[in-house]
Amino acid sequence: MLITSFKINHKKLKPGIYLHEVKKIKNFFVTTFDLRFKKPNKGDYLSNSAMHSLEHLIATFYTQNYPEKIYFGPMGCQTGFYLVVGGKKDIKWLEKSLEKLDNFIQKCKKIPGQNPMSCGNYKTLNLSLAKTDWAKWYESKKQWSNKY
Ligand SMILES: [Zn+2]
C-alpha cells in the first residue's frame, strides 16, 4: 500500500494549503493538512534552518491554541509541513487558524525552545529567517492552490 503522499502528483503541485487526508481510526477522525511552501523539484527549497525555526514556532502556536493539535512537522523534501489534528476539519478551519498564526509569528520576539535542553540542534534556529520565509509564503496566499 502506498502512503497518501505518493499518490499525489508532485509535478502539478503548487504552493498552498491542502486537505491531505481524513482518516478514521475506530470512531475517531484524524485530519492531516499539507502546508506547501515550495513547488516540488524546482530547485527552491526551505533551508534546514528556516524549516526548523518554523517548526518550533508553528508547533508551539497550535499546541497553545488548539487542543486538537496532534503533530506539526516538516517534510523531508523541504517543500512544506504537515499539520495533524484530531477531528474532521476542512480548509476553512485551517485558513482561520493561519490568520491567527500569522499574527503570532509577526509578534514573536524569541523562538520557543531555543536552548540545548529543549532542542536537538538549537544553534540552527533563526527567528528573522523564519519570519521572512513565513511572510513570503503567507503573503502569496492569493496565488495558492488548495486542490491536489
Ligand atoms: Zn528544535
| Domain boundaries defined on the chain | 11-137
Q: How far is the CA of 147 from the centre of ligand 1 (A)?
A: 31
Distances (CA, A) of 34 to 16, 115, 119, 122: 8, 28, 24, 25
Please state, in angstroms and rounded to a whole number, the distance separating the CA atoms of residues 76 and 21: 18
CATH placement of domain 11-137 = 3.30.1360.80
pLDDT given at position 128: 98
pLDDT given at position 29: 98
CA dihedral 49, 53, 59, 64 (to 10 degrees): 170
- Residue-wise pLDDT for 66-78, tens only, equals 999 999 999 999 9
At 44, list the grid cell: 527552491
Spell out which residues have Cβ within 5 A of ligand 1, the ion.
119
What are all long-range contacts of 138-141, with beta carbons under 8 Å and residues at least 24 apart? Answer: 138/98, 138/102, 140/15
pLDDT given at position 138: 98
- Residue-wise pLDDT for 14-68, tens only, equals 999 999 999 999 999 999 999 999 999 999 999 999 999 999 999 999 999 999 9
Q: How far is the CA of 137 from the centre of ligand 1 (A)?
A: 21
pLDDT given at position 78: 98
pLDDT given at position 113: 97
Average pLDDT of the chain, as a whole number: 97
Q: How far is the CA of 77 from the centre of ligand 1 (A)?
A: 18
Tell whether pTM > 0.85. yes
pLDDT given at position 61: 98
Please state, in angstroms and rounded to a whole number, the distance separating the CA atoms of residues 32 and 84: 4
At 145, list the grid cell: 492552490
Q: How far is the CA of 1 from the centre of ligand 1 (A)?
A: 32
Q: How far is the CA of 139 from the centre of ligand 1 (A)?
A: 25
Of the pLDDT bands very low, low, confident and very high (cuts 50, 70, 90), residue 1 is confident
Of the pLDDT bands very low, low, confident and very high (cuts 50, 70, 90), residue 119 is very high
Q: How far is the CA of 26 from the centre of ligand 1 (A)?
A: 33
Segment 93-104 mean pLDDT: 98
